[in-house]
């Protein structure tokens, strides 16, 4: 069967929202319904840009992919008509147009200001990233790049798209070499930036609205720049402005003093945490002495055994260690929460092996764990039979089992 390449209307006009077409092939691929049309305005995933969504005769289009010039439209159910009407989800499409052209403009600004080549691009549902071949970027440099990008947007210059051949492309100052050598589609931003690209873009830079860089991070020797354009940037500003104003109200400070307020609060929190730690240590020492003094002695060894409920296990572990730091004592603690946790420990002069003792009871609760002669720790996914297991360990330790 001879495959007929799909006519790509989105390359001719990115603003097409509805179109008519004829189904030339349909069936099941990868367990999904699909159709191939003689022409389409649906953009298939590629070049870092996601696919368009929308409907074909009111059947939802969930994915669009291209293979060897054939555009496959994957749908929620079978499309019954032959001659169809396609409708593009315009909100999604225009968002992608804003972000993609914003990337071209921002990448061009990185080239002009820092001679930084774009080596990666990803357009996601929440944010957009470009990878710039620079080891680090300072705040002043970043501001200059962002200012230049927004200047180009605010000038509202024309964006042209046209096709050239491999000889003609040699005369164009491309930002990077094209990936194909025939029917090379150029996206030109007012004679200042030239890129080979098959994506969808607005006709004027002003439609991008604005570009705002939101994050930098290192990525394989490059700098990954996260940014937002247009409506995404406005929503992000609205959210962050709301957070700033709410935080200012909570701290009873103006937003200009918010950083100082947070730093002051952070310092207070550190001091409280330090004081709390000292109080916990003092409390543990007091509790440890109380447990030690009231513990019953068996064959010359004091044994402290208890099953707790919904306690902080790290606190129990610390308490057990404080008790075991005294002479002639063994501690058998367990905690019941959403799971079972066990800590066995003893002082150095006790003739017992905590690791052996723990492993003797773990099968009864389907638990795991281990340790050494003086300290062992374990647990189980549920708490069934925990009390009985701790009693068994106690009986072994006192010689009743």
Is 264 within 8 Å of 271 (Cβ atoms)? no
- In this model, does residue 313 exceed pLDDT 60? yes
Smallest Cα–Cα separation from 290: which of 315, 319, 265? 319
Interstrand relation of 340-346 and 375-380 (parallel, antiparallel or unpaired): antiparallel
Is 65 within 8 Å of 30 (Cβ atoms)? no
**Averaged pLDDT, 98-127:** 94
- What token pair was written down for 298? 């068996």
- In this model, does residue 178 exceed pLDDT 90? no
Confidence of residue 25 (pLDDT cuts 50, 70, 90): very high
Q: How many Cα atoms within 13 Å fall on the side-chain side of residue 301?
A: 21
- In this model, does residue 299 exceed pLDDT 80? yes
The CATH number assigned to the domain with range 278-398 reads: 3.10.310.40
CA–CA gap between residue 359 and residue 370 (Å, rounded): 7
pTM surpassing 0.85? no
- In this model, does residue 20 exceed pLDDT 90? yes
User: According to the model, what pLDDT value does residue 180 have?
Assistant: 84
7-88 folds as Elongation Factor Tu (Ef-tu); domain 3 (2.40.30)
φ, ψ (nearest 5 deg) of residue 241: -65, -40
Is 294 within 8 Å of 326 (Cβ atoms)? no
**Averaged pLDDT, 81-95:** 95
3 state DSSP class of 356: helix
Is 305 within 8 Å of 316 (Cβ atoms)? no
Is 194 within 8 Å of 173 (Cβ atoms)? yes
Confidence of residue 108 (pLDDT cuts 50, 70, 90): very high
- In this model, does residue 1 exceed pLDDT 70? no
CA–CA gap between residue 73 and residue 36 (Å, rounded): 6
Domain covering 94-243 assigned CATH 3.20.10.10 in the classification: no
Element (H, E) at 190: none
Distances from the Cα of 297 to the Cα of 188, 290, 294, 352, 392, angstroms: 88, 14, 9, 14, 17
User: According to the model, what pLDDT value does residue 69 have?
Assistant: 85
**Averaged pLDDT, 164-171:** 90
Element (H, E) at 63: strand 59-67
User: According to the model, what pLDDT value does residue 2 have?
Assistant: 54
**Is residue 36 exposed (0-12), middle (13-18) or buried (19+ Cβ within 10 Å)?**
buried
CA–CA gap between residue 115 and residue 145 (Å, rounded): 11
- In this model, does residue 202 exceed pLDDT 90? yes
Contacts of 200 (CB under 8 A, 6+ apart): 10, 14, 43, 49, 93, 96, 97, 100
**Averaged pLDDT, 143-172:** 94
Q: Where are the domains of the chain?
A: 7-88, 94-243, 278-398
- In this model, does residue 349 exceed pLDDT 90? yes
- In this model, does residue 279 exceed pLDDT 80? yes
Mean pLDDT of the chain: 93
Q: Do domains 94-243 and 278-398 have the same CATH topology?
A: no
Return the HEC string of 122-161. Answer: EECCCCEEEEECCCCCCHHHHHHHHHHHHHHHHCCCEEEE
User: According to the model, what pLDDT value does residue 109 have?
Assistant: 96
Chain segment 235-273, per-residue pLDDT in tens: 999 999 999 999 999 999 998 999 999 999 999 999 999
Percent of the chain with pLDDT over 90: 84
Percent of the chain with pLDDT over 70: 99
- In this model, does residue 19 exceed pLDDT 90? yes
Confidence of residue 281 (pLDDT cuts 50, 70, 90): confident
User: According to the model, what pLDDT value does residue 289 have?
Assistant: 94
Helices marked H in 71-138: 90-114
Q: What is the DSSP string of 241-279?
A: HHHHHHHHHHHTS-GGGHHHHHHHHHHHHHHHHHHHHHH
- In this model, does residue 205 exceed pLDDT 90? yes
The torsion region of residue 389 among left (phi > 0), alpha (psi -120 to 50) and beta comes to alpha
CA–CA gap between residue 380 and residue 97 (Å, rounded): 53
- In this model, does residue 350 exceed pLDDT 60? yes
């Amino acid at each position: 069967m001879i495959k007929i390449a799909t006519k790509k209307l989105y390359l001719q006009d990115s603003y097409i929202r509805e179109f008519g077409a004829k189904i030339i092939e349909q069936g099941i691929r990868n367990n999904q319904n699909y159709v191939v049309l003689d022409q389409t305005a649906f953009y298939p995933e590629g070049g870092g840009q996601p696919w368009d969504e929308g409907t074909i005769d009111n059947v939802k289009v969930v994915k669009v992919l291209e293979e060897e010039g054939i555009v496959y439209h994957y749908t929620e159910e079978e499309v019954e008509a032959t001659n169809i009407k396609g409708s593009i989800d315009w909100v999604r499409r225009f968002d992608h147009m804003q972000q993609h052209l914003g990337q071209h403009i921002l990448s061009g600004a990185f080239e002009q200001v820092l001679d930084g080549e774009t080596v990666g691009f990803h357009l996601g549902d929440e944010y957009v990233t470009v990878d710039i071949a620079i080891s680090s970027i300072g705040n002043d440099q970043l501001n200059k790049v962002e200012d230049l990008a927004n200047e180009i947007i605010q000038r509202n210059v024309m964006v042209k798209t046209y096709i050239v051949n491999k000889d003609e492309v040699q005369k164009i100052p491309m930002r990077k070499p094209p990936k194909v050598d025939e029917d090379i589609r150029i996206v030109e931003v007012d004679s200042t930036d030239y890129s080979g690209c098959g994506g969808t873009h607005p006709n004027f830079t002003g439609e991008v609205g604005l570009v705002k860089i939101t994050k930098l991070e290192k990525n394989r020797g490059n700098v990954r720049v996260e940014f937002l354009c247009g409506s995404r940037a406005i929503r992000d500003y609205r959210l962050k402005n709301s957070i700033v104003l709410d935080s200012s109200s909570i701290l009873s400070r103006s937003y200009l003093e918010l950083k100082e307020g947070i730093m002051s609060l952070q310092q207070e929190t550190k001091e409280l945490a330090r004081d709390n730690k000292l109080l916990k240590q003092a409390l543990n020492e007091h509790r440890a002495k109380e447990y030690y003094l009231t513990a019953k002695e068996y064959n010359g060894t004091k044994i402290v055994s208890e099953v707790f409920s919904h306690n902080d296990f790290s606190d129990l572990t610390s308490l057990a260690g404080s008790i075991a730091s005294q002479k002639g004592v063994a501690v058998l603690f367990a905690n019941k929460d959403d799971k079972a946790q066990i800590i066995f420990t003893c002082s150095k002069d006790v003739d017992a092996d905590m690791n052996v003792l723990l492993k003797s009871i773990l099968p009864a609760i389907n638990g795991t764990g281990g340790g050494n002669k003086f300290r062992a720790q374990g647990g189980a996914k549920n708490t069934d039979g925990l009390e009985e297991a701790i009693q068994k360990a106690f009986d072994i330790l006192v010689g009743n089992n």
